[in-house]
Each structure stands twice: as C-alpha cells, then as structure tokens.
Structure 1
C-alpha cells in the first residue's frame, strides 16, 4: 500500500469527525478488495477510518438491497455450508446474551439479521424475536426457510416501537452505515431502560487479512477497539466487563444524556497509521505464517462444512442439529 502515490495525502475542511470533532484526514489506501479503486481515509485525531467520498444514502440502499450478497457471497440466498459455518458462533453469541438478560428481558431485535442464524438460536432459547434485513433474497429466505419474522428494509424504514426491546444485536452492521454514531443513538431509543446492546464489527487492526482485501466498498467505516468503544460510550451505553477486548462489545443502556464532548485519541491514530501503511507484498503475505495458516485452514474447513451441511439437509435441520449439539456440550 505504501507505494500508492496518494497514500499520506492530507485532506482538510471535511465534515467533523463524530468521535474527536476533528476535520483532518489522511489517505491510508487507494485500493479495495479485488484491487478496485477505493479511497479510504483515517482521522488524525482518533483513528476512525471511512470511505472517501462517502456513498450517498440512495447508493447504499440500492447496493445492500440487491447487490451486496451477490457480490461478496456469490449467491442470492445463503448456501447450506454457510449456515453450518455460522451456526456455532450464533449459538455462542445468544447464549452469552441470555446469561446477561433478566428473566423479564425477552424481546430480542436483530438488525442486519442476514441468513438468520442468530435470530433462530434466540428463538430456540425462548426469546420473542424480530429481525431487520435490507437484502431482499436473504430476508425472503429467513422468512420462508426458517419461519422468522423479518422485515425486508433498513432499520429507519422498519416498524419498530420505541423503548420496546430488551436486547439489540448488531452483528457486522455498524461498518456499513454512513453515520454510525447517529445510528447507535437512534437504536438506543428502541431499547427499554437497562436494555442490552451487542455490537460486533471487523477489527481493522487485525493482521490475518491481506492488505489488498482489507478495505472494500461495503465497509464505509472501519473500526478498532478504541474507536468502536468511543462510539458506544457517546451513544448512551456503558460497556459491560463481559465484552471481549477487541471489536465485539456488549453494553447496557444507561438512560443518561448523550455525550457530545470530543474524544481525542492521537495515539490510536498513530498506532493504526503505522500498522496499516507498513509495506506488505502479495508474495510476502501468502508466504507468511498467517497467510499459510489461513490457506490450510480453508482447505480443511470448507469441504467439511459442505459435507456436514449436505448430510443434514434443510437449513432448519442444520441449525437444530448445532443447537442440540452445543446445548449438550454446555450442560455437560
């Protein structure tokens, strides 16, 4: 990335950063996934990364409704192997949230419900579930194949009563939103007092992905632990100690007024800048320990997922099998 002529270019005079209120950005990359032209900038006051220019709301709505799943998953609806791949993690996520919820906290909202694994596991654990999924194919799939109550729209268009839900799950959603702070504050209003938010995003500081796949059009923002936590705290939540230390955070609604004070994090910016602009060649990454490890892991995992998913048949049968298997292991 360091050999790109525009990397390091400083941009000024743009919209104030929602975390630190600064306006200075530096170009950190000029390419996206598939070596497509994509400019990504980093805020020099805190380290928040975003696409430049930001796509319009109409462009994003069209992209997620029609093109997103086909572009990144090459399918209009989930494949059985994907259901099998995501089911264990979905069970673990819901079990973690269920352990934090009180007996009266049963209303579970999943925004960006995707192929429905989290929503299905939540229903199996006794929650009253609601899903929001903007992609038409995936929303139709979750209604028809899994019998889940999913609205095919974005959260702003959805029929969602205020202060109604007890648990709100955002699994790899926030990075797709053009104004994540405003979105978190809006979603805060959907939770009842003491409601639980679980938000997970990819960690841009993670080193397992090749530099030429790190940025892509679908992710208009990129976070690390510090920037994600700052967003959550400024949106009326307190982060619970049960959260992970990376970019999966569990927080509880405080009821306090939103914090509008700027939060400067120059050290976080410098740390991210140095990591993201360190030169890495294609051959160097492929030959590295992490590159070889990911490649070998896929060679083992993908055929296994395909065969196991095929053996169990329908998506419901796959999810029910994983649920029973993990329930047995948890109670052992």
Structure 2
C-alpha cells in the first residue's frame, strides 16, 4: 500500500470481524528488522492487524518453508527450545486435563510446532493428533518424538469426521488471515462441550521492545478483550479459572455463531495509548529493556548447556514430565479407566 503517516485514519472496504467498523488508524509503518510493514488498529474495538492481509498463497509458501528459518533461524527444533518450552507445555496440558471429563480423550494440536504439547498430552493418556504446516518441524516431531503429525494446514488435514474433545491452538491464531473464520471452523471440529485452549502473544505486553512488536508472521495482534470477543462470536464460553489475559481455555457451547457487532471503543483508546507510551530508545534504556537483555544473557547459555546434557528431546521431555508430575500429578484418561 502507499506510504501513510503514522496516526492517520484510513477507511477500508472490509468490515472489522469484531465490531464491523471500517476505520483503521495507522500504528506503525515498519516491522522487525526494520522491514516495511503497515500495521493498523480498528478504532471501533482495538483489533490490531497488518494491512494489507497477505494472500493465502503467500502465507502457504511462507509457513511451509520460510517461517521457522526466519523466526527461529533453524529448519528443525533445537534442544534448547525443547528445554525452554517443556515446563509450560506440561502445565498447560495439565490444566486442560483438570477441566476435561474422563471421556474426553481425543486431543488435536493445530500448529503443533516442535511437539511439546502433543508429547505431554500423550504422556497424560490422551489420544493425540497433530497438524503442522512447516515441513522441517513436522518431519522432526514424527521422526524424533514419534508423534502422529500431518504436514499440512488444518484445512487440508485428514481429520476425524466424529470430531475431537480437545483442540489446542498455541501461538497460531495470530498467524491466520481470518481468525474468526478459523475459530468457527475449530468449533465445528469439536464435539459437544469440547474444550478449546488458545494462546496468542499479548500486544499489551510492555516487556517487548517497540521495534520488535510487529512482524510479517503475526497478521493479527490481540489483547484479552479482542481475543475474548472473537471466541464469544465463534460459539465458545470462557473458563475464567483457567484463563489469563491472552491464554484462554474455553468450552464449546453452541454451533450457532453471532454476527452482532461488539463495539469496544474504550479498548481501542487504551490500546492506542499503550502502544505509544514508550519509544524504542526509551524502552532499550529502561529497567524493563535492560532487565530483559540481562535475563537473556544469563538464561540462554544455561538453557543450552542443560539441554545438551540431556542428550535428546525425548529425554528432556520425559524428565520434565517426571519432575513436574511428582509435585502436581494430573488425573489422566488412562488413570480414569479409559
């Protein structure tokens, strides 16, 4: 699109999927690595997204081949990443298990990535299936972790006609060109009263530097209010005890979808102010910016050494599961007699 000034308001032909408004305010003209990327915010609700939205063909190519190399500088997962993500995967799957009935055993992970969620879910007794569009990561999780993962998008995957009890979408929704349509499709894949776990980056997280806030891979950017609004419009109810900000556990309550606009101008005003509260230079010099940098300098070498000492990804995951399960064992479908 032609260069537009930050702060200017533009009117789009397409309506916002939350509030049906057409006015957007330009938040930024650059993304990560100082690459041109126009990001806008809806003035009616605060939904933040790239403009224009990439085409399906562009995205299919990007995620099949380029994404992991561009974002993680690797074709397949590194041991340090498995070590970093294992505890969080266990804790989230354990939380999901705590809200599942003994009969809810079918677990689908869309965008299964490096496989930590699927691995922990299988260890807890769930019947697991994964879908991962990136070729290197899908091959890795099948070959190294022995997980049943299909290398494709969920739209083209060979999925069960009789549905799933639990669907996990961890840091995937922000990558999709029409998140509301995707949430409604996921609703259709879930059985009655099925559980849906979704997590996305929080655009209000002030720990991240403004210069790295927006990038091509994240088409949409959510805060709690905009993510919750989309879930409600897609036939879900939130489980408050298992939700925090932009990590939400929800339950399917309806196959009927609401197209009624949800207007949240106060959320737009709050987000606009938050997004412009600190400049990139001020953030880098702040306690948060310096603390984040020092934290990485301490944590990353330690993660690398501990990961390598384990020898393999399965050993990392097995040890994490054993350690965490000793302190807070979960009731699994297998233990429940299924």
| Bucket of the pairwise TM-score, normalised by the shorter protein | over 0.9
Question: Which moved further from structure 2: 184-193 or 240-249?
Answer: 240-249
1:163–1:189 CA contact under 8 A, matched in 2: no
- How far did residue 5 of structure 1 move? 6.7
Cα distance in 1 for residues equivalent to 2:57 and 2:204 = 30
2:95–2:242 CA contact under 8 A, matched in 1: no
Deviation string 1:240-259 (CA, Å, 9 cap, x unpaired) is 12233310111000025111
Indicate whether 1:315 and 2:310 are aligned. Answer: no
Matches within 5 A, 1:157-236: 157-236=156-235
Deviation string 1:209-254 (CA, Å, 9 cap, x unpaired) is 0001000000000000000000000001110122333101110000
Q: Which residue of structure 2 aligns with residue 291 of structure 1?
A: 289
Cα distance in 1 for residues equivalent to 2:28 and 2:162 = 40
Unaligned runs of 5+ in 1: none
Cα distance in 1 for residues equivalent to 2:143 and 2:181 = 33
Q: Where do 4+ consecutive residues of structure 1 move more than 6 Å?
A: none
Cα distance in 1 for residues equivalent to 2:4 and 2:40 = 14
- How far did residue 305 of structure 1 move? 0.7
Unaligned runs of 5+ in 2: 331-338
Indicate whether 1:301 and 2:303 are aligned. Answer: no
- How far did residue 272 of structure 1 move? 0.6
Q: Which residue of structure 1 aligns with residue 55 of structure 2?
A: 56
Aligned Cα root-mean-square deviation (Å):
1.4
- How far did residue 289 of structure 1 move? 1.1
Cα distance in 1 for residues equivalent to 2:236 and 2:297 = 41
- Secondary structure at 2:242's aligned position in 1? coil
Deviation string 1:174-211 (CA, Å, 9 cap, x unpaired) is 00000000000001011100000001000001100000
TM-score (norm 2): 0.95
- How far did residue 42 of structure 1 move? 0.5
TM-score (norm 1): 0.96
Cα distance in 1 for residues equivalent to 2:4 and 2:57 = 31
Q: Which residue of structure 2 aligns with residue 44 of structure 1?
A: 43
Q: Which residue of structure 1 aligns with residue 72 of structure 2?
A: 73
- How many pairs align? 328
Cα distance in 2 for residues equivalent to 1:43 and 1:162 = 37
Matches within 5 A, 1:242-321: 242-282=241-281, 284-321=282-319
Cα distance in 2 for residues equivalent to 1:288 and 1:244 = 30
Deviation string 1:264-287 (CA, Å, 9 cap, x unpaired) is 0000001111111235142x2122
- How far did residue 80 of structure 1 move? 0.4
Q: Which residue of structure 2 aligns with residue 152 of structure 1?
A: 151
Question: Which moved further from structure 2: 107-116 or 268-277?
Answer: 268-277
